[in-house]
Chains A and B, each alone.
Chain A
Amino acid sequence: MNLDNQKRSVVTSQLNLLLAFAGLVLLLLLMRAFYLQMFRGEHYLALSRDNFIQTIPTAHSRGRIFDRFGTLLVTNRPSHDIFLTRAFLPDSERSIAKLGRVLGMSKRRQSELDAALLESLEGQEVRKLSFAHENPFGCEALDQFLREDELAGVTLRNRAVMASGCVVTIDNQVFPSRAAVRQRLQDALDYDPRKFQAAWDRAWRRSRRGQYQPFRIVSDVDEGAANQVRLEISRGLLPGIQMNDSMRRRYPFGDRASHVLGFMNEVSSRDLRQNAYKHYHLGDRVGRRGVERVFENYLRGEDGKRFYIVDAKGREHGAFHHHLEELGLEPIESRGGHDIRLTIDEELQEWTEGAFLGAAGSVVVIDVNNGEVLALASFPHYDLNELAGRGSGSAWLKLSRDALKPLRNKAVQEHYAPGSTFKAFTGVAGLVHGQIRSSSVKTCYGNFFIGRQRWRCYNRGGHGPLSLPTALKVSCDSYFYNLGVNLGLDRLASTAQHFGFGRKSGIALDGEVPGLIPTREYYASKGGGYRRGYVVNASIGQGDVIATPLQLANAYAALVNGGDLFRPRIVHEVRDATGLVTQSFIPEVIDHLDIKESDLEEIRRSLSYVTRAGGTAYSLRDVEKYGDLARWVRKSGVVIGGKTGTAQVVSLSKNIDHLDPEAVEYHKRDHAWFVGFAPIQEPEIVVVAMTEHGGFGGSASAPVVANVIRKWHELKVERGGAE
């Protein structure tokens, strides 16, 4: 049938229109290609590189911590965390739908099958679920499907007689379903089912935030379980489950020096938003307390990085390394953390922790000639291993709720009224400012008056006439009331400040509090103005005077070493992984008091009377009470100087004798101080013990100090006086 002319013209115009349309569509597609390749090319190039360049951090170990003689206090151990990735976990409903579609099952049959499968997972003994399927086409299709496409865990029987249907068997341990993976993981870990279920559910809920991100199910599983899980992962039985190996802290001595060493925990997502944490990743652990926190930057080290070319299944590929060169991606070696050597003496620390008598408090042992802290203990202390392993969260919660505040380092983070231990500094102030000489005598009548206001000496009958040494020995209040008033608050304060009161000592521990030495200015700014009574209280270390045990120890160290105030040091030196010392902390004098050597000698001598007949700590020589310790104090020849102190917690009514601990309930009892130093001729160490609510310092804290000094002496002899 030939076309006539009229028809032809119609056709030609239609054809031109069609061709124009085709050209237009092709042009639009070309514009899309232009957009993708020319306009967004760099973006997609970066995405493609994200695909095939895998960055794997190379682990490093955190620096270890040693005591001053090289005893290992903190080290590392391998730890294994287990994660799930939502997108890679199989979905039983999908698997069943796949199976159902192949078999030609109804939706209802599918959901029945799903339910049956779940049920078979609950009951452990049923591993296989079989059902007959009568649709021969479905059976044949499944047969084909199983040959082509893996549907793990499904097997088919009666293939020979498939015309009449078949028996399909599902192995619930292998069939891709989330419940099966969960069950298998639980078996491998051998955990309590309820707890594991809760942990799993939590991770599963969280994983909604990122389909392709791993979320942790359980942390720090033990080595045996980790091996089992690793095996099952390598067999492909745990799709969507990953295990991450990392290092955690191990503390060979458990609770030893827990407040000095401090602990670590995981960075929170809130931390990660801050600039200070820019080198951290989710899941990293960071030092939170003590040396772990303060020396985080030394201890931490740096993750290294390695770059791999991988294919879509994550296997390493040999070629395409030029992309790495173009991007300048070279492997970065990991840098291990630096080791730290403390000034702490592990043996003395152990003894110190054992010697403490109260429920809560602290003990500080400091070397008077360089400010090194030889032992520092806060009570109650805690087991660091519990805070490093699995269940650290609940352990931490328990500690943080404890009424005795075990998490607080009471030697530096808590301040108390120094009480009578402060009287030595009032005495020094008197000498420095020429108010008294050591031989000046004042008389104690048991009372002290300013106008009509009365202050009492604890000895109501009065001590009679006293010189400074005697006043310190018996700890007479009236003597120092008098001296304080004559000195005035500011002169007292300026001397005390030379001993480091009222400001942070600068020790490398976290959360140190400054304490307080009040001045006239302080009262003026506080409002209410200054009254003369304030200096009366301050002169015996009460009122607004507060100090930390460490401050007190350091102040006494300056008092007995000739007036040099050192910055207390807890860290000796930092060494890199090869053992080379990278930083060493040398003694640093931060203040000096100009005072005649003979005056200091006088004070030191006066303080030695405290442990002798008539002194407030004379009971240390009571063999009946202290046995071996008392015998040692009597006979060793090491003379202990010191001062007792009692810090009033609440004012008790007058008819209760607040020196009798049994008569007062715990939280209202006074805090008990004792500061000791030895040997008296040429002091080497100062020991401060603070027993919270210990009552009288002479009985609660003095034996602790004596015990520590005794151990120190023994160790010194043992080590041949090298130290």
Chain B
Amino acid sequence: MNLRDYFARVPLLLTMYVSLILGIGVVNLASAARVLRPNLPWVQLLWIVIGIAVALILGAIPASRLRSLLLPGYLCAITLLGGVLVFGIQVKGARRWIELGAFRLQPSELAKVATLAMVALLLSKRSERNGYTLTTLFRPLHPSRPLFLSGAMLAFLYTQWEVFDLDWLTGDRYDLHEGIFAGLALTLVLVWLVASLVRYFGEQEKPALIGPIECAALPFVLILVEPDLGTSLMLVLVCAAQILACGIRMRSFVYLMGSTGVVAGVAWTFIMHDYQKSRVINFLNPEADLHGAGYHAMQSMIAIGSGGQLGKGYGLGTQTQLSFLPENQTDFVFSVWAEEWGFLGVCVLFILFFLLLQQLFAMARTAKDDYVVLICVGVAAMFFWHMVVNVGMVMGVLPVVGVTLPLLSYGGSSMMTLFLCLGLVVNTQVWSDVEDDEAL
């Protein structure tokens, strides 16, 4: 396949929709950042160029080779997630970034893509004829799993023990307590590792070392303890969409949702005290506490509502230009757009996003391979949930969590994530009916 063939295979409609949304994003950013950081749109454009390059390179890697690269990529992302907890810099109470010279890398963003792809791969390897049941979903049900889970739990408690008021356990002996917790957690994880390896090498038919659930659970926990509620939530929602696309039996689905709901509801209403609840909320979502979430949500709703039918005009949004709108280059870009372009602008953006989703689903429908279906669905879910949570937040129907609006918010890490996703999709389309040896 030569370069011309390659570009001919890059899906045209998808590219068009993405470009339109990106165009809107840069134009909007130019207005949002005009007062405080006027060069921001240019930086964003640079990120877009880099992103396009990354996506095209990813697309050009032969499909089978890319699949074999997914596991190393995933492990790499997990390592970075572990690393950020130790070496990460702390900003406003959360460790989310690794400083690399002038840049700040947010490993959780990379982990989202890596996990999405890994889950797609793992799910596509096992097909259940009538959809997953609870037992098949959590298979292999192995004695080591409880060990892993309790190890993870203890590690979690160790990092954030103060939230749960464990003073009574430890008295004044800080060191002793830290030692016990860290040691116990490490031991359990090691035992799990050993047991799994023994099992893996001990049996004739090699079972998968980790199932899709664990594959998603590990980064989920690591991101949650940073803490970063928004990103970990995104991860879960994306993986859930992938599992749903594979099919899950209705009864199992109902059991799963029902039991989760009941346990969480009972714990929340009957067991936890108010101060514990507020601590958990503050812990999971420190931005809410530091900025005064109510104020931000209110200013955002004022910005959107005051836009009216046709908006206040480009560069004339008072909420934006007079800095009443917080974080207007990142989390609240939608409010800027809605204020300056009104309901008309909002409709245009919604239609473009829906067309993008519809395009991804069309690709999934025509795919010949489960892996391709799951990649398309996962990427669609990524766009969809980011958009829904972000827009729901700025319109005051969902709580304030730090989730960006895909393709519109400023930020290198999130831009890279999206282009990596698009690269995965392009890859599936380019190589859908091409054998590996026809590579460029």
Contact = CB atoms under 8 A, between A and B. Distances in A.
Interface string A147-171: 0110000000000000000000000
Interface in B410-434: none
B71 interface: no
Contact of B318 (A7, A34, A52): A52
Interface in B324-345: 324, 338, 342-343
Nearest to A25: B388
Interface in A17-66: 18-19, 22-23, 25-26, 29-30, 32-34, 36-38, 40-45, 47-49, 51-52
Nearest to A148: B91
Contacts of B245: 11, 14-15, 18
Nearest to B86: A137
A311 B131 contact: no
A36 B324 contact: no
A145 interface: yes
B308 A45 contact: yes
B346 interface: yes
Contacts of B324: 48, 51-52, 311-312
B318 A320 contact: yes
Given A29-B350, A37-B338, A311-B322, A19 B358 contact: yes
B305 A37 contact: yes
A167 to B, nearest CB: 19
Contacts of B319: 48, 51
A29 B306 contact: no
A30 B369 contact: no
Given A3-B369, A33-B304, A26 B388 contact: yes
Contact of A47 (B131, B302, B364, B395): B302
A323 B322 CA distance: 13
* Range class of the A interface residue count: 35 or more
A313 interface: yes
Contacts of B192: none
Interface in B238-267: 241, 244-247
Given A10-B131, A312-B323, A15 B302 contact: no
Contacts of A29: 350, 388, 391-392, 395, 397
B350 A26 contact: yes
Interface stretch (A99-107, A238-246, A432-440, A485-493): A99-107
B370 A3 contact: yes
Contact of A320 (B162, B322, B323, B365): B322
A107 B307 contact: no
A30 B361 contact: no
A307 to B, nearest CB: 14
A310 B361 contact: no
Contact of B167 (A26, A42, A102, A106): A106
A102 B89 CA distance: 11
Of B321, B322, B357, the most chain A CB neighbours within 10 A belong to B322
Given A15-B361, A32-B395, A38 B343 contact: yes
A107 B167 contact: yes
Given A37-B343, A51-B318, A106-B162, A18 B361 contact: yes
Contacts of A32: 392, 395, 397
Interface string B80-105: 00000000011111000000000000
A605 B358 CA distance: 116
A12 B321 contact: no
B241 A18 contact: yes
A10 B304 CA distance: 41
B323 A47 contact: no
A596 interface: no
B347 interface: yes
B318 A37 contact: no
A10 B244 CA distance: 12
A30 B347 contact: yes
A38 B344 CA distance: 10
B384 interface: yes
Contacts of B246: 14
A108 B166 CA distance: 12
A149 to B, nearest CB: 7
Nearest to A110: B162
A4 to B, nearest CB: 9
Given A107-B167, A312-B323, A34 B343 contact: yes
Interface in B161-181: 162, 165, 167
B346 A37 contact: yes
Contacts of A403: none
Given A44-B305, A47-B306, A52-B318, A3 B368 contact: yes
A313 B324 CA distance: 8
Contacts of B354: 22-23, 26
A141 interface: yes
A18 B308 CA distance: 32
B317 to A, nearest CB: 9
B398 to A, nearest CB: 10
Contacts of A34: 343
Nearest to A48: B306
Nearest to A142: B90
Contacts of B364: 11, 15
A580 interface: no
A48 B392 contact: no
The 8 closest A-B pairs by CB, nearest first: A44-B305, A41-B308, A48-B306, A311-B322, A141-B90, A312-B323, A36-B305, A37-B343
17 contacts: A1-B371, A7-B127, A11-B370, A14-B246, A19-B357, A22-B384, A26-B350, A30-B347, A37-B305, A44-B305, A47-B306, A48-B319, A51-B322, A148-B91, A310-B322, A320-B321, A320-B322
Given A37-B346, A145-B91, A310-B322, 9 more contacts: A7-B129, A22-B354, A22-B384, A25-B388, A29-B350, A51-B299, A145-B92, A311-B322, A312-B324
